[in-house]
A and B are shown apart, each in its own frame.
Chain A
Amino acid sequence: MKTYEQINDRIESGKAVVLTAEEIIDYVDRKGLAAAAQEVDVVTTATFGPMCSSGCVLNFGHSKPKIRMTEAWIQDVLVYTGLAAVDVYLGATQLRHGDSANMYHPGEFRYGGAHVIEDLVAGKTLQLFALSYGTDCYPLREIRTYFTINDLNQATMTNPRNCYQNYNVAINNSDKTIYTYMGTLEPQRKNANYCSAGQLSPLLNDPLYETIGIGTRVWLAGAHGHVYCEGTQHAGGGARTPDGVPTGGAGTLALTADMKCMKPEFVRGVSLRGYGVSLALGVGIPIPILNEQVLKRTCVRDRDILAPVVDYSHEYPQNTGKVVAQVNYEQLRSGRIEIEGKQIAVGSLSSYYKALEIANLLADEIRRGDFRLSQPLAYLPKDTTMKPLVAREKPA
């Protein structure tokens, strides 16, 4: 048994033993659970993939004379101005003004909110255009100017939902190519796409939310941030294997961090053909090895994690809830799965390569004493389910 304080003391003194969620599997096999739980202080987990529910709060400071922005665009991408005078929220999936979207199907969606976020973090010069109706205290009605992230007072990434615990594997049962947020899917189950770091993924290594909770310090694209809330659509009560590993979506995290401390290679605009824009983010979360039970859960392997295979031509869009099959991540990573006798080529939207890089970067930071762990202020619910949106003809 170790406490957060003991682990942080070991980190401070540069003596912490830190392994990635991939390395820990063989390590525990070799040393045994009890000995490994004594030796290992932290296991690092990570993921890198598209996370649509991302965005940031920006504060521009005041112009002379002042403006209370009522409509604003950055690089022609609309931002939300229903906040204080010079605060805006820039959402990752917002399209650029004039984008033809899917008018000429499939649309290309080359630039949107996520690309603005990428450019901001990369330090590029961006254009702000804002309008106002003008007030006695904020008389300016229009401004067009150029800025970089360093000109902003705050640039705080505030993501309602990241780090989905587990996720669907998408296939296409129809006779035509479909374009989805799970990528391009060829007809008649020619390919399948998944999106999870599997055995490296944060919430799959802490499936019952024993260490990752509200207040947990996280590595968000290189910055040190926090879990500020359960993520939207968090449904901790979903089906699980006997080891507690969810067999579907389940938990999510709401994450925040200072964008001025982020590294551009982990903040990437994503253009999903025929679907839209998303933001790919790198997230690393350390798991303190408080006891054998926590350690045992970090030893989860790709073959122990099941993902539901779902048809995105009919079952997903019509919200039928039908699952074609369950496959594990070892099968998915082999590049081929067999469903109902048919071999299907498997691709991925999340990058295991990047996730591994992040898990190692975070492990190095902890070993150097540059990243301390924080105990959750509150834990994530384990019993909630996801409600549907009911279309009612009159008030209930």
Chain B
Amino acid sequence: MSDTVKQKLMLDFPRCECEKPIIYHLVKDYDLVVNVFRAKVTPEERGYLVLDVTGTPENIGRAIDYVKTFHVIVNTTGKGVTRDLDRCTHCGHCVTHCPTEALRIGDPATREVTYNEAECIECLACVRVCPYGACASAF
């Protein structure tokens, strides 16, 4: 059995596919550990589901193929929460509000604020507190 990996997935539901228990099948059929960050899937509206899945690369690949059969757009590169580097002034107001240190002072000498998207759990605290409007949510 190959090693498990963690993969962030952003699922965009262009039209309602909410009658299918997608997460149930991800767990049951593809043996994935699922951690949902954000979800909004309601009838007659564009919906989204942002989650981490942990499993073998083969199973994750098969799970993505399965999800795609529902006309769901699967984004594996993230971008649920983005930082506009032109607007960020590296003031550091966000760093105490970010629970996972995805946003942190990367270089103690220059006080540059860095953003590691892989650590982001999309709590949106930075979107609320950034005085410069540098952080934004895709949804």
Check B16 for interface membership: any CB of A closer than 8 A.
no
A317 vs B8: C-alpha distance when bound (angstroms):
44
Q: Given the complex of chains A and B, what is the CA–CA distance between A358 and B125 in angstroms?
A: 29
Q: A191-B96, A273-B128 are in contact. List 14 more A-B contacts (CB 8 A).
A: A50-B131, A183-B129, A269-B132, A280-B132, A333-B108, A345-B95, A347-B92, A347-B94, A347-B97, A351-B90, A351-B111, A352-B92, A353-B111, A354-B91
A219 touches B (CB below 8 Å) = no
A-side interface residues, number (CB < 8 Å) = 33
Q: Is the CB of A268 within 8 A of B132?
A: yes
The answer to whether B131 and A346 touch across the interface, beta carbons within 8 angstroms, is no
Q: For residue B134, which residue of chain A has the nearest CB?
A: A268
| Binary per-residue interface labels of chain B (75-101) against chain A in the complex, 1 for a CB within 8 Å, 0 otherwise | 000000000001101111111110000
Taking a contact as CB atoms under 8 Å apart, the answer to whether A271 and B131 are in contact is yes
Give Cα distance in the complex from A353 to B113, angstroms. 9
Q: For the complex formed, measure the closest distance between the CB of B35 and the CB atoms of chain A, giving whole angstroms.
A: 25
Q: How far is the CB of A22 from chain B (nearest CB, A)?
A: 9
Expressed in whole angstroms, the Cα–Cα distance for A184 and B113 within the complex equals 18
CA distance A284 to B90 in the complex (A): 18
Q: B residues touching A (Cβ–Cβ < 8 Å)? A: 86-87, 89-97, 105, 108, 110-113, 128-129, 131-133
Of all chain A residues, which has the CB nearest B113? A353
B111 CB contact (under 8 Å) in A50, A110, A352: A352
Instruction: Give the shortest distance, in Å, between B125 (CB) and chain A (any CB).
Output: 9
> For residue B128, which residues in chain A have a CB less than 8 angstroms away from its CB?
184, 273
Contacting residues of chain A (315-345) with chain B, CB-CB under 8 angstroms: 333, 335, 345
A228 close to chain B: CB less than 8 A: no
Is A193 an interface position by the 8 A CB rule? yes
A69 CB, nearest partner CB in chain B, Å: 31
Q: Which residues of B contact A269 (CB under 8 A)?
A: 132
Q: Does residue A356 face the partner (Cβ distance < 8 Å to B)?
A: yes
Closest to A335 in B: B105
B89 touches A110 (CB 8 A): no
Could you tell me if B112 and A272 are in contact, using CB atoms closer than 8 angstroms? no
Which residues of chain A are within 8 angstroms of B86 by Cβ–Cβ distance? Answer: 265
Q: Which residues of A contact B133 (CB under 8 A)?
A: 110, 271
Determine whether A235 belongs to the interface, using a CB cutoff of 8 Å to chain B.
no
CB distance from A47 to the nearest CB of B (A): 12
A49 at the interface (CB under 8 A from B): yes
Q: What residues of chain B lie closer than 8 Å to A270, measured between beta carbons?
A: 131-132
> Which chain B residues lie closer than 8 Å to A348 at the CB level?
91-93, 111
CB distance from B89 to the nearest CB of A (A): 4
How far is A269 from B132 in the complex, measured between Cα atoms in Å?
A: 7
- Do residues A193 and B111 form an inter-chain contact, with CB atoms below 8 A? no
